[in-house]
Structure 1
Amino acid sequence: MRVIDFRDAKCRHCYKCVRHCAVKAISVKDEQAHIMIDHCINCGRCLEVCPQNAKTFASDMDRVKGYLRQGFKTIISIAPSYAGVLEFDRPGQVVDALLKLGFAEVRETAEGAAMVTNEYKKIIRENKMPNIITTCCPSVNDLIEKYYPECVPLMAPVVSPMIAHGRYIKKLYGNDVKVVFLGPCIAKKQEAIGDERVFGAIDAILTFEELAIWLEEAGIDIHQCEEKPMGNPDPKINRLYPVSGGIVQSVVTEEEADEYHKVYVDGLENCMEMLECLKQGELTHCFIEANVCEGGCAKGPASARWNTSYVKAKVKIENEVSHKAAKELPDMSTEELKKKFQDNRLTDRMPTEADIREILKSTGKYTPEDELNCGACGYPTCRDKATAVFQGKAELSMCMPYALNQAESMSNVVMDVTPNMIFVIGSDLKILDCNKKAQELLGVGREEAVQRYIFEFIETQDIEETLRTKEPVIHKKIRLEHGKMTAEETIVYIENLDSVLVTFQDVTREEKMKEQHYNLKVETVEMAQKVIEKQMMVAQEIAGLLGETTAETKVTLTKLRDSILEEED
């Protein structure tokens, strides 16, 4: 199922999501980013960093409201991270707010954590596994199954606290009850609905962000609510699960302390580094708490709206926790809490060396020295990006240096082939830049030209006037090369450079043709004048014979002459 994705956005030349996706589960097609479901571990990092806020999330809000409208007994399993994320005066106010929304009961997911803790302790006491990786974080579980399948045998075969709690609530109240998990994690959606191994334990997922929207719509202020108790016994130290190191503290007591070395790792890159160490056999007999989110679940991607400080959240959660083991454990067997993890490794088609070289050549990389490995495209090396192009995940145009070179090359081509003379002149009248045609006008190369002043070559009254007034000069006729060239002068002020762009368009040929055309018309007029004079003489003679006036003939012929001259104007 598709839990998260991007709306249509201006992804061209951005690729921030690709850069921040450690597993490269984002493809770019037609300049639009898309999440590849089979590659994604639903950590939500891409959605946090997207500068256009182009995220979409498969919300269960309508489903949950539907359960309540239809009268289903619906129970909330609330993640213990609520204590560090939501704003309240007393924890029980959160319970009252949820009851006001229509839920039948509010229970802490930490109750499920207590069951998981008990199972972890059993595994530690058995002392059969060379290393034990906790399996509470669904993103870590996906990471191992898809990208580090060699480490699957090291995963504790236990469901997450959410699944344990959902199964227990349904065992307690019957399968007709609806269980809704409320927390800061978007990966829980995939775990609850998309994983057939645990399907049915949880009916819907709500995030803390969605809860805030719902409470606002319903006009419920948590601070104005009464304090009401949770529906479960105190899970005590198991409320520490959402903070970094909280699982280790809950599980490894003095009794188990000597059995395994306790380690907690949070942050995706750190988890990947830890898994690489396990692959290489560099860690032995460790109990490893692994969490994709830095700082633990308290910094989950659906909690950032309120909590900007992990330290603040950690302190708030720890203030609500009793550092004692839970006494009243729910009646759940090891079999009911078991989960078998599996090798789900990806099988992407890999390019040959010839394929990679061909793709690299397409972006101007012919030698290893051409491979800048700048990472702007989102991939660590040019070869990695070429592999992604081969697999259909990336586009050639994503290479920023190549795109820039192409743009600059096209700009240089235009500048070099244009027949116009183009200068950029500074406020001190120094030549800042000029194209080839301009260099021909000056009679010097670019390197020498940019060391000299424009007034050494041409008159500069118009340039100085534009620099002073910032008013442009448009298509003004001037003479250059000591009167040998006629040019149309255009001068535009460049504000951010305090300089001017000067363009001279050589119109000498056009002016000569216009002059020749004018001379031809003058000759025609002169010939017409002679015809008029002859006609006048003839007309006078004819007029005398016909009784017509000479004036009428003169007016007609004069109009003919004037019409020819008016064409020039």
Structure 2
Amino acid sequence: MGKVLFLNGVNGMKVIDFQNASCKHCYKCVRNCSVKAISVRHEQAHIMNDHCIHCGKCLEVCPQNAKRFASDLELIKAYIRQNMKIVVSIAPSYLGVMNYRTPGQVVGALRKLGFDEVRETSEGAALVTREYQKLLREGTYKNIITTCCPSVNELVEKYYPELTDQLAPVVSPMIAHGRLIKKMYGEQTKVVFLGPCIAKKQEAMGDSRVFGAVDAILTFEELEQWLEEEQIVLEECEDLPVANPDCGVNRLYPVSGGVLQSVMVDSSEMREKEQGGEKKQYHKVYVDGLDNCMEMLESLKRGELEHCFIEANVCDGGCVKGPASGKWNVSFIKAKVEMERRVAAHQKAQYEPQSLEVELSRQFAPHPPKEQLPTEEELSAILRETGKYSEKDELNCGACGYATCREKAIAVFQKKAENSMCLPYALSKAESMSNVVMDVTPNLIFIIDREMRIRECNKKAQELLEISREEALERYLYDFVDTADVEDVFQTRESITYKKVKLEQLGMKAEEKIIYIPEMESVLIIYQDITKEEKAKEKHYNLKMETVEMAQRVIDKQMMVAQEIAGLLGETTAETKVTLTKLRDSILLDGEGD
């Protein structure tokens, strides 16, 4: 496929790896990335780490499967081979998305793979629940946004930095559980988090503020692949219990409203705040889905919400619909109903968290991506490059992935996008170029279907046929030229090139090219007019023949002259010989008389 590009966390850790793919003119990942953390360079998509909130949406929508979660599977297998003590912290969403006959079979499968213990992350959720309840009783926060979802935390820190003081200063259940497990089993114990979320990878290994609580991340999809490799059938595994006591309603954290159900099972847990002589409790709000979360945060920015306890989750439907659990295609409703049925929902948890000292506090700080904005002149210049000279030229179609042409122009300025991403402009440019070629070429160009109907023809063809394009599209090629070659190409599907033909009805000689187009069940025909060239060749040939004939006549005449001269020379020589002989003899005879 090509070289692998990596999206790195704070400590150089891989979160999502990227492979070069056939993503030319696709931009599906850009369109589906609400924070526009994807740049396009040389028609290849790249994830910008300082912009990304690791929601995994690009993993789900990429048709080329070019983006993949950076797996810890080999690291986990190495832990097992080295006989390290490994405890799995399994997200309770397994109750709603995995295929088993009894939940204990998941534990049995994990133990069979080599893990020492399996404990539910809801243990950590119980610790977090207790901390949230403290915040509610204290009532000092204007609003409290839950911090279980690492993508929500990054969204606030990067894109709504003014709201970081409204994030609950509490670690996520995964971090709380990882720290608890290490307290229970020893710091050398390896903790593997098993769940449907890829943002957990960034949180566990890419954030120095909570680093060390969890040693590796395993997704449900990876677990399924691993079980297949080991030929372990989940439904046939032994039914074993998790190592922790029942955490009750805290197991509902992965579904929409689950945190609220866990934290606010008893209204007496809520602090009543005096406001104007009236007692007021925190208002319960839960929001899932990235766009909905952003809408909620915009509302907080405008000061429209106050004294709200807000459960926020980037994934639609909660963690049960995380990007690494979608392979099972389980609906959110089915997963939620299944989990609530097994958890005996809406009942207060009987689980009392371990009394071990576990650090649960966490501070959040703004770190928005640094971006330079173009001046109005620079922005206008970029817009003009794609044919947008006025506001009416800005179609704002969104095909490039940006909501407006101006947003896309800003992205071009910031080296996040390319001008070629404007599909209407690219299409109009391609069409105009092809039309120019079609109109100015001296060749006759046709597209013909199997019935010999003319499907397209260029301007030159229209001129020679002496008909309009509209009329031509209602006619058949055999009305104008012999179609024997075209029929042969349809039958053999083998193109004809550089064949000289005489188009009697058009009064021209042409060089014929017929190319079969399988996608259209049609042929492209090009007739290159070579009438003048052929006439010139014929004239040149005739001239040569006349020259040869003239030369032959001269030769023949010269031969005749030579023969005549030879004859005359022969007669003269004979006469001279007789005369000289007589002269000699006369002289000799005169001498004898003396």
Is this a same-fold pair by TM over 0.5? yes
Task: Determine the structure 2 residue equivalent to 1:365.
Answer: 388
2:497 corresponds to 1:477 = no
Superposition pairs of residues 5-404 of structure 1, within 5 angstroms = 5-254=17-266, 255-256=268-269, 259-322=281-344, 323-332=347-356, 336-404=359-427
Deviates more, 1:498-507 or 1:227-236: 498-507
For the aligned residues, what is the CA RMSD? 2.8
Secondary structure of 2:59's aligned partner: helix
Q: Are the counterparts in 2 of residues 238 and 326 from structure 1 also a CA contact under 8 Å?
A: no
Secondary structure of 2:337's aligned partner: helix
Once residues 506 and 426 of structure 2 are traced to their aligned partners in structure 1, the CA distance between those partners, rounded to angstroms, is 43
Once residues 21 and 308 of structure 2 are traced to their aligned partners in structure 1, the CA distance between those partners, rounded to angstroms, is 44
Over 3 Å counting, the alpha-carbon distance change for 1:253 and 1:426 in structure 2 is closer
User: How far is 1:204 from its partner?
Assistant: 1.1
Over 3 Å counting, the alpha-carbon distance change for 1:60 and 1:454 in structure 2 is closer
| Per-residue CA distance 1:105-124 (angstroms, 9 max, x = gap) | 11110000011111111111
Q: Are the counterparts in 2 of residues 184 and 297 from structure 1 also a CA contact under 8 Å?
A: yes
Over 3 Å counting, the alpha-carbon distance change for 1:199 and 1:452 in structure 2 is closer
User: How far is 1:362 from its partner?
Assistant: 0.9
Letter in 2 for 1:261: H
The answer for unaligned runs of 5 or more in structure 1 is 546-569
Task: Determine the structure 1 residue equivalent to 2:550.
Answer: 527
Deviates more, 1:156-165 or 1:533-542: 533-542
Q: Are the counterparts in 2 of residues 5 and 57 from structure 1 also a CA contact under 8 Å?
A: yes
User: How far is 1:223 from its partner?
Assistant: 2.0
Letter in 1 for 2:119: R
Over 3 Å counting, the alpha-carbon distance change for 1:238 and 1:375 in structure 2 is same
Over 3 Å counting, the alpha-carbon distance change for 1:400 and 1:332 in structure 2 is farther
Q: TM-score, normalised by structure 2?
A: 0.84
Deviates more, 1:270-279 or 1:81-90: 81-90
Once residues 45 and 420 of structure 2 are traced to their aligned partners in structure 1, the CA distance between those partners, rounded to angstroms, is 13
Secondary structure of 2:537's aligned partner: helix
Q: TM-score, normalised by structure 1?
A: 0.88
Q: Are the counterparts in 2 of residues 494 and 501 from structure 1 also a CA contact under 8 Å?
A: yes
User: How far is 1:496 from its partner?
Assistant: 6.7
User: How far is 1:218 from its partner?
Assistant: 2.5
User: How far is 1:360 from its partner?
Assistant: 0.7
User: How far is 1:55 from its partner?
Assistant: 1.6
Once residues 316 and 566 of structure 2 are traced to their aligned partners in structure 1, the CA distance between those partners, rounded to angstroms, is 112
User: How far is 1:137 from its partner?
Assistant: 0.3
Over 3 Å counting, the alpha-carbon distance change for 1:234 and 1:417 in structure 2 is same
Aligned residues: 540
| Per-residue CA distance 1:62-117 (angstroms, 9 max, x = gap) | 22222222232111111101111221111112112212222221111000001111
Q: Are the counterparts in 1 of residues 144 and 310 from structure 2 also a CA contact under 8 Å?
A: yes
Q: Are the counterparts in 2 of residues 5 and 34 from structure 1 also a CA contact under 8 Å?
A: no
Superposition pairs of residues 381-460 of structure 1, within 5 angstroms = 381-424=404-447, 432-442=455-465, 446=468, 450=472, 453=475, 460=480
Secondary structure of 2:328's aligned partner: coil
User: How far is 1:26 from its partner?
Assistant: 0.5
Q: Are the counterparts in 2 of residues 421 and 504 from structure 1 also a CA contact under 8 Å?
A: yes
Deviates more, 1:423-432 or 1:247-256: 423-432
Once residues 281 and 124 of structure 1 are traced to their aligned partners in structure 2, the CA distance between those partners, rounded to angstroms, is 20
Secondary structure of 1:419's aligned partner: coil
Once residues 274 and 184 of structure 1 are traced to their aligned partners in structure 2, the CA distance between those partners, rounded to angstroms, is 24
Deviates more, 1:396-405 or 1:186-195: 396-405
User: How far is 1:536 from its partner?
Assistant: 5.8
Once residues 497 and 29 of structure 1 are traced to their aligned partners in structure 2, the CA distance between those partners, rounded to angstroms, is 33
Once residues 75 and 515 of structure 2 are traced to their aligned partners in structure 1, the CA distance between those partners, rounded to angstroms, is 62
| Identical positions, percent | 63
Q: Are the counterparts in 2 of residues 490 and 503 from structure 1 also a CA contact under 8 Å?
A: yes
| Per-residue CA distance 1:284-329 (angstroms, 9 max, x = gap) | 2211110011111111111112243222222222222033323322
Task: Determine the structure 1 residue equivalent to 2:274.
Answer: none
| Per-residue CA distance 1:23-80 (angstroms, 9 max, x = gap) | 0001111111111111111000001100011122221112222222223211111110
Over 3 Å counting, the alpha-carbon distance change for 1:476 and 1:157 in structure 2 is same
Task: Determine the structure 1 residue equivalent to 2:6.
Answer: none
Q: Are the counterparts in 2 of residues 466 and 493 from structure 1 also a CA contact under 8 Å?
A: no
Q: Are the counterparts in 2 of residues 466 and 492 from structure 1 also a CA contact under 8 Å?
A: no
Once residues 78 and 518 of structure 2 are traced to their aligned partners in structure 1, the CA distance between those partners, rounded to angstroms, is 60
Letter in 2 for 1:345: P
Once residues 373 and 32 of structure 2 are traced to their aligned partners in structure 1, the CA distance between those partners, rounded to angstroms, is 23
Once residues 407 and 356 of structure 2 are traced to their aligned partners in structure 1, the CA distance between those partners, rounded to angstroms, is 47
Over 3 Å counting, the alpha-carbon distance change for 1:119 and 1:478 in structure 2 is same
Deviates more, 1:337-346 or 1:109-118: 337-346
Deviates more, 1:474-483 or 1:72-81: 474-483
User: How far is 1:540 from its partner?
Assistant: 7.3
Letter in 2 for 1:367: S
Q: Are the counterparts in 2 of residues 431 and 452 from structure 1 also a CA contact under 8 Å?
A: yes
Secondary structure of 1:3's aligned partner: strand
Once residues 520 and 76 of structure 2 are traced to their aligned partners in structure 1, the CA distance between those partners, rounded to angstroms, is 59
Letter in 2 for 1:19: R
Q: Are the counterparts in 2 of residues 115 and 161 from structure 1 also a CA contact under 8 Å?
A: yes
| Per-residue CA distance 1:118-145 (angstroms, 9 max, x = gap) | 1111111111112111100000000011
Superposition pairs of residues 461-476 of structure 1, within 5 angstroms = 461-463=481-483, 466=486, 470=490, 475-476=499-500
User: How far is 1:352 from its partner?
Assistant: 1.2
